[in-house]
A and B are shown apart, each in its own frame.
Chain A
Amino acid sequence: MSAPARLRIVGGAVHDPANGIDGEVRDICIESGRIVSALPDGAPTLDARGMVVMPGGVDIHSHLASSSCNHARRLAPEERAADPVPAPALLDRTAPARSGTGGTVPSTFTTGYRYAGLGYTTAFDAAVAPLMARHSHAELDDTPCVDGGIFLLMGNDEYLLRQIEAGEHARARDYAAWLLGAAGGYAIKIVNPGGVEAWKTGQRNVTGLDDAIGGRKVTPRAVLEVLADAGNALRLPHPVHIHCNNLGLPGNAATTLASMEALQGRRAHFTHLQFHCYGGEPGKGWSSASAKVIEYVYTHPEVSTDVGQVMFGPAMTITADAPVEYLLYQSSGRRWTNIDIELETGCGIVPLAFKEKAAVAALQWAIGLELFLLSEDPWRVVLSTDHPNGGSFLSYPALIQLLMDRSVRDERLKQVNPRLLAGSALADGLSREYTLNEIAIVTRAGPARLLGLRDKGHLGPGADADITIYNRDPDIATMFSTPRYVIKDGTVIVEEGQLRRAPAGRRLRVAPGYDDAIVPDLRRYFEAYSSVSFGNYPVAGLPGEPVAP
């Protein structure tokens, strides 16, 4: 029997906010892929003196492994031609080293390598149609270095809408539970509740929480309530993950606040909040409404959010919010795709670039930063760019620099179009600078806690040994874009800034219980309406065990 793999990380300044450790110099001990409190003398060491030690990064909301990502890859061949990625020189011959392509939506292996190269070791694809879950799992199988999971789209699902309309909330919950288990999902996702179904039935969209959805006696409010209750009753590790109605429209902050109020008292996560914090009126102009929304978030501990920051540069908008993508296509004139995923949801994709000189993009950029800088509880306002919607995950270091370094931020602010920034908090001057500990919260400890990942996002005994070690650098962006070491499950995968090993990641999924009485009903439903037979629908052979509630 071989000795358990051990490693002692010596002398680094540890930032482990979940355990109240803020830059203290201490050793971190690893045995068999987990953090332990002590190791016998003579265990191998890794010298981290003068360096910063943090848990591995956790991306709570990304689009990295899905059929829609594949559509996006096909939609932008020029991005891939411009960014060929050679296979990394791995030391470990057991894992294949694959070449690939980059751009805003990298190929699968490259996605894993690049996340690892950034010090991220866990990432969730936040929008997967259950019907397409098989595809996502196949992509995650080929996305090394990160533990991954998927959120399942349910806010426009035919069977669910029918149950809500009939007042069968218990059956709606059972269906959600069955779907999560069958498709190997981790959380319930709602995208534009009812709006996608309305779009598919010939309405343009829904406009607010109390519109009828496609001629039904169901409202977006009912969808939010039933699914939020289902997520909480099933004791899912992550509550319902909500992309509100009216994304990207001026004045949508009112809808966002109404959605939060509708769920008052229920645990819920509101995602890419930046896209939902606009004041003004359609056709009459835009303004920032971040202060009002972030105030609500702060005073309501049941609400959590990620920001969905916009970063200047190329982006790829990928969403199940198909009607929004139609608007984006109309306003941008760019190529686009729009897909009807039969009974479940829709999908739209438009490549985009956020430009400093564009007034709306500048406002979006400012609103995202305001959410960060006005947030009084970083545990509930965590970092995302809604990769690749607001920008690639590769721009996280630049975002961290904007948060930590006011002089860089102010310099950048001078370069952007100020037309819509009058009266915005950022333009008035926000002096706050994030500390390293706050960065550790918004990029690791916070997302892990919101996701209910007990063994991630911290470095206490028993945690997964996912660790990132950075060289200190006066240039924050450089520091965070080139970690010196990255450790995944106790294996050093990045050494001296080079990717050396690329082990497969684990799958994070749940399989909540449900009343079996629903099964014959679902069998019938699939036979009558679906293009997939009931027996073929569940994804077979999922790796690993589901996460316990």
Chain B
Amino acid sequence: MSEGVVARLRQRLRHQADLGEVLAGGWTGLGPSELAVRPVYLEGSGTVPLGELFDLRGEPAGRIRFEGDLARADRLAAGLAEGEVIVEGSVGAQAGLGMAGGTLRIQGSAGPLAGAAGPAARRGMTGGELIIRGSAGAETGARMRRGLLAIGGQAEAYAGHAMIAGTILIFGDAGPDVGLWSKRGSVVALGAIEIPATYRYACTYRPAHLGLTLTRLRARYGLPVKKRHFAGRYHRYSGDLADLGKGEILEWTAE
């Protein structure tokens, strides 16, 4: 299988770059020269073609890999609908904003609002898989509607804020106020978590579906799934009871 397209950052980004339009809609059939003309908004300079910032090579194969420090690149893979996007390092804010399908894999850390909803949008990601190997910023998965979002490291405050549905797994420690205002959806906490006051304990059990999800995350993305995650049981808390209350937090517990 071809490696697909590789986009290597030419020079360190001095300014914030908005990559939100690069992979929105259909892109998997495009080669380097066609992707190179897609617009990027560079703060202070205005719109520049992607090719000005990145050196692109390879063949279209439904996959693109970004190389270089993208900590100042915001909205990478926003509105993603198809294909596989791999980022070798860390990314800025709003990665995978409102994505609808496909896979976004971030090998480093993500800034705030990954997989979340844009300022004027009602819904965050509505499908696909968003995998962050490192830590995630505040409000990751805010208002997400469907899909799978996994965080290998820590998550800052307000993960899954006002979630409508979908699944978020946090392997590291979760910041405060996880799942506040959620309607439905699952937040799986494999590290430490503080359960919000508006969630209520329901039961302790071993959710069968979780084993399948964990197996997939380990096999496909190499996330740090441990034996204890399968062997352990999970406290289920229902919430957010200040809203619809059909959501849940599953907190891993030993034995």
Contact = CB atoms under 8 A, between A and B. Distances in A.
Interface of A: 162-163, 166-168, 171, 202, 520-521, 524-525, 527-531, 533
B18 A524 contact: yes
A520 B14 CA distance: 19
Contacts of B93: 529
A525 B14 contact: no
A524 B41 contact: yes
B14 A521 contact: no
22 contacts: A162-B15, A162-B16, A162-B43, A163-B44, A166-B14, A166-B43, A167-B14, A168-B15, A168-B44, A171-B44, A202-B156, A202-B175, A521-B43, A521-B44, A521-B46, A524-B41, A525-B43, A528-B74, A528-B119, A529-B93, A530-B119, A533-B120
Binding site of B, secondary structure by majority: helix, strand, loop or mixed?
loop
Interface of B: 14-16, 18, 20, 41, 43-44, 46, 74-75, 93-94, 118-120, 156-157, 175
A482 B162 CA distance: 54
A168 B156 CA distance: 30
Given A166-B15, A167-B14, A527 B119 contact: yes
B15 to A, nearest CB: 5
Contacts of A525: 43
A111 to B, nearest CB: 34
B110 to A, nearest CB: 13
Given A166-B43, A524-B43, A528-B119, 6 more contacts: A162-B15, A166-B44, A168-B44, A520-B46, A528-B74, A528-B75
Contacts, number: 37
B204 to A, nearest CB: 31
A527 B94 CA distance: 13
Contacts of A533: 120
A535 to B, nearest CB: 13
A168 B16 CA distance: 12
Contact of B18 (A202, A528, A530): A528
A159 to B, nearest CB: 9
Nearest to B74: A528
Nearest to B94: A528
A403 B44 CA distance: 52
A167 B44 CA distance: 12
A218 B224 CA distance: 34
B114 to A, nearest CB: 14
Contacts of A162: 15-16, 43
A162 B15 CA distance: 7
Contacts of A524: 18, 41, 43
A529 B43 CA distance: 13
A525 B41 CA distance: 10
A225 B181 CA distance: 41
B14 A531 contact: no
A24 B74 CA distance: 67
Contacts of B20: 528
A525 B20 CA distance: 13
A429 B210 CA distance: 74
Nearest to B18: A528
Nearest to B93: A529
Nearest to B175: A202
Contacts of A171: 44
Most chain A beta-carbon contacts within 10 A, residue among B44, B120, B175 = B44
A178 to B, nearest CB: 14
Nearest to A518: B44
A117 to B, nearest CB: 45
Contacts of A520: 46
